[in-house]
Amino acid sequence: MKYAFFPGCSLESTGRPFDFSTRAVCRALEIPLGDIPDWVCCGSTPAHASSDSLAVALPALNLQKAQAAGLPVMVACASCYARLRTANHRIVGAPEDRLRAGRITGHPYDGGVEVRHVLDVLVNELGPDRIRAKVRRPLSGLRVACYYGCLLTRPPEIVAFDDPEHPSCMDELMAAAGAESVDWPFKTECCGASLSMTNSAVVSRLTHRLLCMAQEAGADCLAVACPLCQVNLDLRQADAGKAHGPLRPMPVLYVTQLLGLALGLAPEALGIDALAVSPRSLLAKCGAVAPAGAGGIA
Amino acid sequence: MTREVPPGKEEGELTQPIPWNGGRLMEEVRQRCGARVSACFQCHKCSTGCPIGPEMDFLPSQIMRLVHLGAEKEALASRSIWLCASCEACTTRCPMAIDIAAVMDALRILAIERRIDLPDARGKQFHRSFLGSVRRHGRVYEMGMMAAYKLRIRDLLSDVDKVPQLLAQGKLSLLPNRGGDIRRVREVFRRSEEEEGKP
């Protein structure tokens, strides 16, 4: 099935490795992706916390564009995913929301465009078996803590592709890639999200807790599927260590980066060197990339 | 983990008795977001699972109780409504299916509309800066948005240490991406304001 890919603003900036790796993995797995060339911001939390009209209308504008292209939508950012799904849910469920979105965007929209997250497409459409068959360099010996965060699984009546308290789709994907996913209790605990802008101390406390728990569970790295989670856990790791006690640096990779490596894609095509905590030496140990030095990253 | 509690008071204890106002605030919240706060029976499950609980002045279940009581001033001037990370754990777990995260949104919107003197304006300023960027460019222009936000909160220095690495890794752009449908975004903002009766 072909999808219109909605990258969202983060994937054009701090989440660029998620953009590269998602496109590269889809190419390798023969999932054709189209574009919505003039997509706009989904509004994210600032919209739903400021204006109920904008919170529905901005996603609706993008969904209308996908509908015109005749394609279902695939999203990578967990926040965009939740906002687009929420808009559909409200437009389908409440006639007043549908009419208001139509008035504000200037076009009618029935909420009928399917919106799926890249994890959902990989696990539930393609399936772990077909992915396993394409793995060229299994991530043998790599212990991964799969971190889902909040908006991939909550609220379940809106996003609904995995269990809200014990999700497993990312673990299945990592197992297919040959890695070992560790059992740990903070899969769906919040990282603090956009509080990194307004109360970074809260984010430090929450990410420190998450990283310590992943370490305690024996993980070598974290796998994430949200650009905000990635930045909070990776870029702010040093701050968290300073504020709450020393941490062993732990690489935080997008699940699509890890999967891409297992599919035999080049690390450069996956943005492996664009993370704050370099995963090079860890990945070299399990044979997923050439040993440190070859890739030229400190 | 400090919570600002007035001297001689317990956490979450009110400083003034609250006159019953006939459920007006509860009804306003219901009209804004559809959530029926009246169904809350104070089981505190939302508060137990709230990741930000330690930093909040009122826990989510206490905010629900303030809405019950019509304690508009206390609810709208609380730090909690701006500390909520919208993680939806409370909404997902509420045994009465109250969309607590949506109640937090409704209270934030009411606090702005009623020009409440906020204990911490950073949340409001971040949202303004973010949406301003979307309105201008169609998509968030991170550098411009951060500069606008930091000017508004008069804190230019925090996180500046992270900028060189982000630039070197191509994760921050000096110029906005103007590929979004700017014309229609501006229409959406204008008509949203008209719908909501804002000038």
Which token pair is B53?
């609980």
E strand map for chain A: 3-6, 33-35, 73-75, 115-117, 143-147, 180-181, 221-224, 252-254
CA A255 to chain CA mean position, Å: 8
Max CA separation in chain B (angstroms): 58
What CATH number does the domain containing A25 carry? 1.20.1050.140
B75 and B102 share a domain? yes
Q: Does the residue B85 lie in any domain? A: yes
Q: Within an 8 Å CB–CB cutoff, is residue B189 touching chain A?
A: yes
Task: Count Cβ atoms within 10 A of the Cβ of residue B84 and give its class: 0-12 exposed, 13-18 middle, 19 or more buried.
Answer: buried
pLDDT at position B148 is 96
Residue B80 structure tokens: 């909690």
Q: Please identify, among B90, B113, B136, the residue that sits at the C-terminal boundary of a domain.
A: B113
* Residue A296, in any domain of the structure: no
- When the pLDDT of each residue in chain A is averaged and rounded to a whole number, the result is 95
Domain ranges, residue B106: 24-113
SS3 content of chain A, % helix, strand, coil (to 5): 50, 10, 40
- What would the 3-class secondary structure string for A114-171 be? CEEEHHHHHHHHHCHHHHHCCCCCCCCCCEEEEECCCCCCCCCCCCCCCCCCCCCHHH
Say yes or no for a CB contact (<8 Å) between B54 and A205.
yes
Q: CB of A63 within 8 Å of any CB in chain B?
A: no
Q: Which residues of A touch B76 (CB under 8 A)?
A: none
Judge whether residue A67 has pLDDT over 60. yes
Q: What is the mean pLDDT of residues B170-181?
A: 92
Domain check: are A154 and A276 in the same one?
yes
Stretch A192-221: mean pLDDT: 97
Task: Determine the pLDDT at residue A11.
Answer: 96
Average pLDDT in the A73-88 region?
Answer: 98
| Start-to-end Cα distance in chain B | 41
Which residues 4-33 of chain B have a CB within 8 Å of chain A?
32-33
Per residue in A90-122, pLDDT tens?
999 999 999 999 999 999 999 999 999 999 999
Return residues 38-77 of B near A (CB < 8 Å). Answer: 51-52, 54-55
Judged by CB atoms closer than 8 Å, whether chains meet at A104 and B191 is answered as yes
| pLDDT tens per residue across span B101-148 | 999 999 999 999 999 999 999 999 999 999 999 999 999 999 999 999
Q: Does some domain include residue B9?
A: no
Smallest CA-to-CA distance from A17 within A230, A246, A297 is with: A230
Identify the pLDDT of residue B144: 94
Report the pLDDT value the prediction gives residue A21, as an integer from 0 to 100: 98
Same-domain status, B106 and B131 = no
B90 pLDDT above the threshold of 90: yes
**Do A26 and A100 reside in the same domain of the chain?**
yes
Based on the domain organization, do B29 and B60 belong to the same domain? yes
Asked whether residue A128 is domain-assigned, the answer is no
Is residue B19 assigned to a domain?
A: no
Q: How far apart are alpha carbons A232 and A205 in whole angstroms?
A: 11
Checking if the pLDDT of A296 tops 50, the result is no
Query: Nearest CA to CA, how far is B90 from chain A (Å)?
Result: 9
Contacts of A52 in chain B (CB under 8 A): 32-33, 105, 109, 196
Output DSSP code: residue A79: H
Contacts for A271-275: CB closer than 8 Å, 24+ residues apart: A271/A16, A271/A17, A271/A18, A271/A19, A271/A20, A271/A21, A272/A17, A273/A297, A273/B169, A274/A16, A274/A17, A274/B169, A274/B170, A274/B171, A275/A17, A275/A230, A275/A234, A275/A251
- Whether residue B6 lies inside any domain: the answer is no
Tell me, yes or no, whether A92 and A181 share the same domain. Answer: no
Enter the pTM of the model: 0.94
Residue-level pLDDT at B3: 54
Tell me what percent of the residues of chain A surpass a pLDDT of 70.
97
Contacts of A53 in chain B (CB under 8 A): 191-192, 195-196
- Is B106 in the same domain as B166? no
Structure tokens at A225: 């599927």
**pLDDT over 90 percentage in chain A:** 94
From residue A260, alpha-carbon distances to A141, B158, B184 in Å are 17, 35, 36
Would residue B179 count as lying in a domain? yes
Distance CA A69, CA A65 (A): 6
B83 has a chain A CB within 8 A of its CB = yes
- Between positions 217 and 246 of A, the ones with CB within 8 A of B are 235
Same domain flag for A60 and A9 = yes
Which ipTM score applies to this complex? Answer: 0.94
The per-residue pLDDT for B10 is 65
Q: How many CA atoms lie within 13 A of A165 on its CB side?
A: 5
Q: What is the mean pLDDT of residues A39-62?
A: 97
Is B140 in CB contact (< 8 Å) with chain A? yes
- Give the pLDDT confidence of B1-56 residue by residue, as tens digits: 445 665 666 666 666 777 777 789 999 999 999 999 999 999 999 999 999 999 99
Is A111 found in the same domain as A75?
A: yes
User: What was the pLDDT predicted at B18?
Assistant: 72
Whether residues B31 and B98 share a domain: the answer is: yes
Question: Does B39 fall in a domain?
Answer: yes
Do residue A32 and residue A167 come from a single domain? no
Range of the domain at A268: 137-285
Residue A238 has pLDDT above 70, yes or no: yes
Q: Say if B59 falls within a structural domain.
A: yes
What distances in angstroms separate CA B144 from CA A6, A127, A262, A274, one per listed residue?
22, 41, 38, 22
Number of domains in chain B: 2
**Residue B161 above 80 pLDDT?**
yes
Nearest-by-Cβ selection for A49 from B127, B139, B159: B127
Q: Given an 8 Å threshold on Cβ–Cβ distance, is B85 in contact with A197?
A: no
Residues A107 and A143 in one domain: no
Residue of A8, A2, A1, A122 whose CA lies nearest to A58:
A8
CA-based nearest residue in chain B for residue A105: B188
Minimum-distance CB partner of A50 among B89, B127, B181: B127
Q: Is the pLDDT of residue A292 over 60?
A: no
Contact call for residues A113 and A63 (beta carbons, < 8 A): yes
* One domain for residues B81 and B46: yes
Lookup: tokens for A9:
């603003």
| A36 and A169 within one domain | no
Q: Say which residue, A254 or B18, is predicted with more confidence.
A: A254
* Domain end position, chosen among A118, A151, A180: A118
**At A297, is the pLDDT very low, low, confident or very high (cuts 50, 70, 90)?**
very low
Locate A11 and state its tokens. 């994937």
The reply to whether B90 and B144 lie within a common domain is no
Which two structure tokens, joined as six digits, stand for B41? 């029976």
Q: Is residue B43 part of a domain?
A: yes
If asked whether residues A98 and A150 sit together in one domain, one would say: no
Task: Locate the chain A residue with the closest alpha carbon to B54.
Answer: A202
- pLDDT in the model for residue B13: 67
Q: In terms of domains, do A22 and A145 share one? A: no
What part of A 36-55 touches B (C-beta under 8 Å)? 37-41, 43-54
* pLDDT at residue A81 in the model: 98
CATH number where A249 lies: 3.40.50.11810
Is residue A154 less than 8 Å (CB to CB) from chain B? yes
Q: Which of B149, B157, B123, B148 is nearest to A199 (CA)?
A: B123
**Rounded distance between C-alpha atoms, residue A262 and residue A140, angstroms:** 9
Query: What is the number of domains present in chain A?
Result: 2
Tally A–B CB contacts below 8 A. Answer: 172
